[in-house]
Structure 1
Amino acid sequence: MSEISQRGDDASARAWGVQPFRANRTLQAALIAFVLFWLWMGHDPYRKFNWWLENLLTLLTAAGLIASRRWFAWSNASYLLILAFIALHTVGAHYSYNETPLDRWLAALFGFERNHFDRVVHFAFGLLIAYPVYEFLRRVAGVRHGWSCAIVPCVILALGAFYELIEMWVTFILDPERGALFLGSQGDPWDAHHDMEVALYGAIIAMFATARIKGKKHH
């Protein structure tokens, strides 16, 4: 029995372009590049405590993707989108989401007083993770194309809200100074709302693009 067959619907997996990892040169190269990038970002981070705290979710996600591949493997497109998002988060973790090069450029260009890289990452979460969620709904839950495009932004919004709860719990557990740095609200009382908002916008954009591209195959 092939590696793909062991994960359930062999025909569905092949239709989405899923390949056994040992033969998937694209995914292998992407993983090697990401690991090297992660190690580079891990050198002399802004705050070591925050680096490991921010990367706790990254390590758990990686473990989950590796463990779940035995019964479900995403397409290369989804894996690359997930890696792209994690790479952006890794950059933020290196700087503790504090004055990244992009923040300094935006501040010089627009005079922003707030660092906005966290907003960029939250938007990227919706934009980049929406398609993997869409693929999961289509292949595992059997949700039709149109309904999947409508449901995905709701799922992204729910995941964004759950992450904000995780930040709140971590802040309660840690001492106030470290917890506040991890929270990264920068004095904005609506920070959590805006984070969820931009993630929702990213997911809507991604699903409009998916509906346009995938929809042609359903007519």
Structure 2
Amino acid sequence: MRAMEESRDIEKRSFTSNRLLQAMILAYAGIWIWMAVSPYSRFDWVLENLLIWAALIGLVSTYRLFSFSNLSYAFIGIFLVLHTVGAHYSYNENVVDVWMKLLFHTERDSYDRLVHFSFGLLMAYPIREAMSVWTNLSRRWLYVITCVIVLALGAFYELIEMWVALLVAPEIGTLFLGTQGDPWDTHHDMEMALYGSIIAMGLMALWRKMTIQNKKNKM
């Protein structure tokens, strides 16, 4: 019952009546087309976009069975935009990397780390939203399991990168993996995703506590 009650916070509407979702899709399509023009490496761009195409196919094909709230779709969209920009540059130096180098006084291109952190920060809410419907976990366990799932997905993505680099494009493996000579790169990527999810769940728990307290004060 608790999961069903919480799940009704999710707007249940048809796609044709969801104007906000349609606007988000059009905005992302425009960004994707823009980033598809003259990427740093066309072959690497295709490989990086496999994740995007798989995610979109999954979201579209399951929409009738389960639709997220518009807030979750917004978070998913922001993450896809970040990844789309990264794919355009093959996660090599871009404007954000230049800014981060100046800010943190480092020679490493850190945009990929930012995207991994954003995965945890932005995708934690949609994952928790789905888990609140699909499971009967308590709210506290939902916070914990969401972070665990983010960490597991981060690890699985690192495995996918390795498989793709070995089987599909071994000649550009270093470019696609983007380790930049760091033997702990994979571990740090998963670490950043985990930190992002912990922050997201912490903020969500704090927001819920403040909302409940405000309701009590009004009573």
Scaled by the length of structure 2, the TM-score of the pair is 0.90
Aligned to 1:196: 190
Q: Distance in 2 between matches of 1:90 and 1:185?
A: 19
Which one of 109, 120, 124 corresponds to residue 118 of structure 2?
Answer: 124
Q: 1:71 aligns with which of 62, 65, 69?
A: 65
Cα drift, residue 90 of structure 1: 0.3
Q: Equivalent residue for 2:27?
A: 33
Aligned equivalent of 2:74, options 80, 94, 105: 80
> How many positions carry a matched residue from both structures?
211
Q: Does 1:61 align with 2:55?
A: yes
Match of 1:3 in 2: none
Partners of 1:104 and 1:15 lie apart in 2 by 41
Distance 2:5 2:183 in 1: 49
2: CA distance, partners of 1:48 / 1:175: 13
Please give the alpha-carbon distance, in whole angstroms, between the structure 2 residues aligned to 1:47 and 1:63. 24
2:212, 2:163 → 1: CA distance?
A: 44
Whether contact under 8 Å (2:4, 2:132) holds in the other structure is no
CA change 1:19–1:213 in 2 (3 A) is farther
Aligned residue number for residue 98 of structure 1? 92
Give RMSD over aligned pairs: 1.9
2:101 is matched with 107
- For 1:132-160, what per-residue CA distance to the aligned partner results, in whole angstroms no more than 9, with x for missing partners? 01001111213221110111111100000
TM-score by length of 1: 0.90
Query: Is the 1:145–1:215 contact (alpha carbons within 8 Å) kept by the matching residues of 2?
Result: no
Determine which structure has greater relative contact order: mean sequence separation of CA pairs < 8 Å that are 6+ residues apart, divided by chain length.
2
**Shift in alpha-carbon separation, 1:178–1:214, aligned structure 2, 3 A:** same
The SS at the match of 2:187 is helix
1-structure distance, mates of 2:211, 2:16: 30
In 2, distance between residues paired with 1:145 and 1:119?
29
Shift of 1:111: 3.2
Cα deviations across residues 181-217 of structure 1 (Å, max 9, x unaligned)?
Answer: 1111000000000000010000000000111223456
Q: Does 1:177 align with 2:168?
A: no
Segments of 5+ residues of structure 2 without an aligned counterpart are 214-219
Which residue matches 2:217?
none
Aligned residue in 2 for 1:212: 206
Question: CA–CA distance in 2 between the matches of 1:191 and 1:217?
Answer: 39
CA-CA distance at 1:168 after TM superposition: 1.0
Closer/same/farther in 2, CA of residues 108 and 213 from structure 1, 3 Å limit: closer
Q: Percent identity?
A: 49
Instruction: Specify whether residues 109 and 16 from structure 1 end up closer, same or farther in structure 2 by C-alpha distance, changes over 3 A only.
Output: closer
* Between 199-208 and 177-186, the greater mean CA deviation after superposition: 177-186
Contact 1:157 1:199 in 2 (8 A): yes
- The Cα shift of 1:11 comes to 7.6
The one-letter amino acid of 1:122's match is H
